[in-house]
């Protein structure tokens, strides 16, 4: 069984996926943020200050940077625990099946990705400091820095593991097997059209929430009517052809990569640099996704993502990125879109894929990334069916 097919090892009715996503959301965004809220309340003079600070992710309250970072990571730890609970007790499958298609987790792969990308990322950052020293201020403070170092290596991997196992794991597998469902084209096209339509409506300042709601309901009814009409006008195989079109590993790869990038759209750096910076986030998601599909597991991407955030945390900080830390350097340059935005996507990520392909003997790239997704052959179930036929 390949990596996406691991989802078939457990319960796969639609409500299993809905319940698990709900559990993850509650663990991550409800229970997980309570400690951070408590910390923010203790550092707020009144509720008005708390409410205002919440709009800036509580970064204006003067909370110790390392303490704030830890409490931010804590939300992801709750999310990770919730995801594991959902997979184990709702889907009734093993944690290993979420991580890899191998019989056990290959930690050597994790460490290879971790160390290799750590070296390359560090060299690139130091090269940037060397080439533009006027943009960087040495910020080394022993106690805060080594505290940051400890938090980064001990706890940041929980944050990155949650993101990887949620997107390249749970969603990659879930969307992958969902493409086999005959209703997938209808639901996917509806969701895509709905998102675009809502964005369009929100740009019309004269519309209030009630009008938007009414228009959206009418849009929904019209969409389903048109979809059904097209199906009847063309031919009875219209939906079947759409199912065959979407039934590709490329579908979960692109969807998870784009959603992963879009969820970073609220980061301060996106607001400063503009939406062109989404090229980096979506490109990064695509890199992790390709690595997962080619290697039939998330071990490499887990290592890559972990060391990427660790190095970013302790090497360079600014006053406008999502994580502000007591890093070695403070980047004082004005936010701008330069080579550093596209260099990883266009040069470093392809280089890493080349290194991985040589080390692990990756082949059949087209099949691995765009091949059809099939339900695995269940020899036990088929033997039972044959047995039933034989007794009749």
Q: Could you read off the pLDDT of 156-181 as tens digits, one per residue?
A: 999 999 999 999 999 999 999 999 98
Domain spans of the chain, in order of start: 4-180+247-391, 182-242
What SS3 state is found at 329?
strand
pLDDT grade for 284, boundaries at 50, 70 and 90: very high
User: Quick one: 154 exposed, middle or buried, by C-beta within 10 A (0-12, 13-18, 19+)?
Assistant: exposed
**Residue pLDDT, tens place only, 358-385:** 999 999 999 999 999 998 876 445 445 4
How far does Cα 4 stand from its chain's mean position?
A: 16
CA nearest to 282, candidates 305, 306, 304, 256 = 256
Report the C-alpha gap between 151 and 324 in whole angstroms.
Answer: 14
pTM passes above 0.85: yes
Give the DSSP letter of residue 28: I
What pLDDT is stored for residue 376 in this prediction?
85
């Amino acid at each position: 069984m390949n990596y996406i097919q691991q989802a078939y090892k457990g319960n796969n009715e639609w409500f299993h996926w809905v319940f698990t996503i709900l559990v993850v959301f509650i663990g991550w965004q409800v229970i997980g943020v309570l400690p951070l809220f408590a910390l923010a309340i203790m550092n707020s003079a009144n509720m008005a200050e708390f409410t205002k600070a919440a709009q800036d992710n509580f970064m204006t309250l003067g909370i110790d940077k390392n303490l704030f970072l830890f409490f931010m990571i804590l939300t992801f730890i709750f999310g990770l625990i919730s995801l594991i609970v959902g997979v184990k007790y709702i889907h009734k499958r093993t944690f290993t099946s979420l991580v890899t298609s191998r019989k056990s987790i290959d930690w050597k792969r994790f460490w290879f990705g971790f160390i290799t990308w750590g070296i390359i990322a560090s060299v690139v950052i130091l090269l940037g400091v060397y080439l533009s020293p006027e943009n960087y201020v040495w910020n080394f403070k022993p106690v805060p820095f080594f505290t940051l170092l400890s938090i980064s290596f001990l706890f940041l991997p929980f944050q990155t593991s949650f993101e990887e196992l949620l997107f390249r794991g749970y969603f990659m597998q879930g969307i992958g097997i969902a493409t086999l469902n005959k209703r997938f084209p209808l639901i996917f096209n509806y969701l895509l059209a709905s998102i675009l339509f809502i964005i369009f409506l929100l740009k019309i300042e004269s519309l209030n929430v009630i009008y938007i709601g009414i228009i959206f309901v009418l849009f929904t009814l019209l969409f389903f009517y048109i979809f059904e009409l097209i199906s009847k006008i063309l031919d009875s195989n219209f939906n079947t052809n759409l199912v065959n079109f979407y039934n590709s590993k490329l579908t979960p790869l692109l969807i998870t990569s784009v959603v992963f990038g879009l969820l970073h759209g609220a980061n301060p750096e996106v607001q400063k640099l503009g939406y062109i910076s989404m090229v980096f986030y979506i490109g990064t998601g695509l890199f992790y996704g390709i690595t997962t599909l080619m290697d039939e597991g998330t071990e490499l991407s887990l290592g890559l993502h972990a060391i990427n955030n660790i190095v970013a945390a302790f090497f360079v900080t600014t006053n406008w990125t999502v994580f502000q830390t007591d890093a070695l350097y403070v980047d004082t340059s004005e936010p701008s879109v330069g080579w550093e935005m596209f260099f990883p996507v266009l040069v470093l990520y392809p280089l890493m894929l080349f290194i991985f392909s040589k080390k692990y003997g990756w082949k059949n790239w087209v099949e691995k990334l765009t091949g059809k997704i099939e339900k695995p052959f269940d020899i036990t179930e088929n033997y039972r069916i044959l047995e039933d036929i034989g007794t009749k």
